[in-house]
Structure 1
Amino acid sequence: MSFRTYCLDSARLLEATATHVSDARVEAAIDAMVAALTANKALLVCGNGGSASDAMHITGELVGRFLKERRALKAICLSSNPAVLTAWANDYSYETVFSRQVEAFGEPGGVLLGLSTSGNSMNVVKAFEEARRIGMTSIAMTGQGGGKLAAQADILLDVPSRSTPAIQQAHICLYHYLCEMVEARCAN
């Protein structure tokens, strides 16, 4: 496959994602994030592997800045503290490394944003279960169909693909849009 073909395939997936993930679902995610952040409730973000890096990227854009000078937003990455992750996983279970942190930092009215290309990462699924128990809104960014997260999420943003790298590429476009819109509405 040539680089040109690779890029064109990526562009076709972005076009399919723009059709599949409705404006209404994206707006619901933005509204939930803005409502939490303007009420000084935390936006918790988690994922594994490449999605962990995406979780860090999202929180970096919101705590720092995306396009506008503004106040810092209360976004916390659950994937980025190696002491918490490794101690809890070693002493208890890797399946509960995120739900334990949701228990610590989550609050009613807050939002949990979880990234999982398969939608089946058990530590993300368990975090969503804990978020629901607490009274948080949950937003899942996944691949096609949402996997197990589809049943747990209040808002599902599922990219119509089963290819991990392709899903991650579409996730970047999607979360950059979320960051831009959230920032615009929180900057005022």
Structure 2
Amino acid sequence: MLEQRIQQQFFESADLLYQIAEGLSRPLAVAAQMMVDALTGGGRVWCAGLGISAADATALASLLAGRFEQERPGLAAIALDAQAQGYSDPASALMRQVQTLGHPGDLLLLFENQSSGAVGALLQVAHGQEMSVIVLSGTQDDDWRGALLDTDVQLRVPHSRFARVAEAHRLLSHCLADAIDLQLLGATE
């Protein structure tokens, strides 16, 4: 029984990734181009996440500032710290950092895997700094969607389980890093 349940985890994850591949390929390409435009235009990519999603933000920033699958110059990608000193509320800490550090031409890439009322306010702060926004989200009731501008991109993973959404977000991060490398360095074998 335990082995069957474990196998079911693999099947459920693979099914979800297969289902979302076609629908997310175009928005992913747009998001990757937005990131390339920001980075080559002198901007920075600020990666952020609330709760456990902060680890995804840190991982993507590391792939961009360091390397993904091939050597390249580091890219100006920084993970914001949701636990910044002086703030008991992680969302407030992120808002303060975006307001303090964000500039026109920068991009906020937000991992949102838990429904948080603070996301809309964070998006408004980023827009106030004239930043573009990419949101990787799940299926929660996202009352913040109205805060997205036409120039923003939402990469939504339609699944109710946190684990499946988190797995898909990791793949989306890898797709973004690969697409950026492709645009900056060309195809590799």
Which bracket does the TM-score occupy, shorter chain normalised?
0.7 to 0.9
| Partner residue, 2:101 | 105
Q: Check if 1:169 corresponds to 2:171.
A: no
1-structure distance, mates of 2:80, 2:125? 14
> Counterpart of 2:95 in 1: which secondary structure?
helix
Structure 1 position 130 matched with structure 2 position 125: yes
8 Å CA contact 2:140–2:160 kept in 1: the answer is no
Q: Work out which of the residue numbers 110, 113, 120 in structure 2 matches 1:114.
A: 110
Q: Secondary structure of 1:138's match? A: strand
Q: Give TM-score scaled by structure 2 length.
A: 0.87
User: Following TM superposition, by how much is the alpha carbon of 1:148 offset from its aligned partner in structure 2, in angstroms?
Assistant: 2.9
Q: Describe how 1:10-159 pairs up with structure 2 within 5 A.
A: 10-21=13-24, 23-79=25-81, 82=83, 85-87=84-86, 89-90=87-88, 93-118=89-114, 120-144=115-139, 147-153=142-148, 154-159=152-157
Count matched residues.
180
What's the CA shift string for 1:83-131, capped at 9, x where partnerless? xx131x14xx54321111111221111110001113x324443221111
Residues 48 and 79 of structure 1 are in contact (CA less than 8 Å); yes or no, is this contact kept in structure 2?
no
Is the 1:43–1:74 Cα contact (8 Å) retained in structure 2? Answer: yes
What is the TM-score with the length of structure 1 in the denominator?
0.87
Shift of the 76–101 alpha-carbon distance from structure 1 to 2, 3 Å rule, reads same
Q: Which moved more, 1:100-109 or 1:148-157?
A: 148-157
Q: Displacement, 1:145?
A: 6.4
Q: What root-mean-square deviation, in Å, do the aligned CA atoms of Structure 1 and Structure 2 show?
A: 1.9
Deviations 1:157-186 (A, max 9, x none): 000112111100110111110011112223
Q: Secondary structure at the match of 1:34?
A: helix
Q: Deviations over 1:44-73 (max 9, x none)?
A: 011022210000000000000001211110
Q: Which runs of 5+ in 2 are unaligned?
A: none
Q: In the alignment, residue 99 of structure 1 is paired with which amino acid?
A: M
Contact kept, 8 Å, 1:36 with 1:111, in 2: the verdict is yes
Q: Percent identity?
A: 28
Q: CA shift at 1:156, angstroms?
A: 0.7
SS in 2 for 1:171: helix
Query: Structure 1 residues 126 and 186 mapped into 2: Cα distance closer, same or farther (>3 Å)?
Result: farther
- Structure 1 contact 51–116 (Cα < 8 Å) conserved: yes
| Matches of 2:14 and 2:172, distance apart in 1 | 13
User: Per the alignment, do residues 187 and 126 of structure 1 end up closer, same or farther by CA in structure 2, a change over 3 Å counting?
Assistant: farther
Kept after mapping to 2: 8 A contact 1:30/1:181: yes
Instruction: Determine if the alignment matches structure 1 residue 9 to structure 2 residue 5.
Output: no
Q: Report how far residue 146 of structure 1 moved.
A: 6.8
